[in-house]
Amino acid sequence: MNEQSKTRQIASWVMAAVLWLITAVLGLEGIYLAKEIFYLIYVSLGGSVVRAERFVPVLVFFLALLYLFFIIGTTEYHRKRLGRRESWRLFGWTIAVEVSLVILYYILV
C-alpha cells in the first residue's frame, strides 16, 4: 500500500509539473496576445501604430512583471499543495483564463 501511494504521489508531481509548464508557456503567449490586443484596440479607436509603439514597451514590462509574480506565486502554491484539490483548481482557472485570452484575440482579429 505504501508503494502504491508513493507511485501515486510521483504521478501527481509529474502531472503538476507538466501542467505548470503548459501554464508558463501559455502565460508567455498571453503577454504577446495582450500586446496585439492593445494594438488592435488602440488603432481601432483612432490612434496610430507609431503612437501605440511608444506605449507597448511599458505595457510589456508591466505584463512581464505580473507574469513573474504569478509564476513565482503559483509555484510556491503548488509546491505546498501538491496533489490536493486546491492545486488542481488553480491549474484549471489558470488554463481557462489563458485560453480565454487566446479566444478573445481570435475574436477581435
**C-beta of residue 55 within 8 angstroms of C-beta of residue 38:** yes
Can you give the pLDDT at residue 1? 55
CB 23 within 8 A of CB 98: yes
Mean pLDDT by 10 residues, the chain (109 residues): 78 88 93 94 90 93 96 90 87 92 91
- Dist CA 66 CA 80 (whole Å): 21
CB contact set of 87 (below 8 Å; sequence gap of 6+) = 16, 77, 78, 81
Which residue ranges make up each domain of the chain? Answer: 2-108
pTM: 0.84
CA 27 – CA 84 distance, rounded (Å): 23
How many Å apart are CA 40 and CA 47, to the nearest integer?
A: 10
Instruction: Report the C-alpha gap between 67 and 86 in whole angstroms.
Output: 20
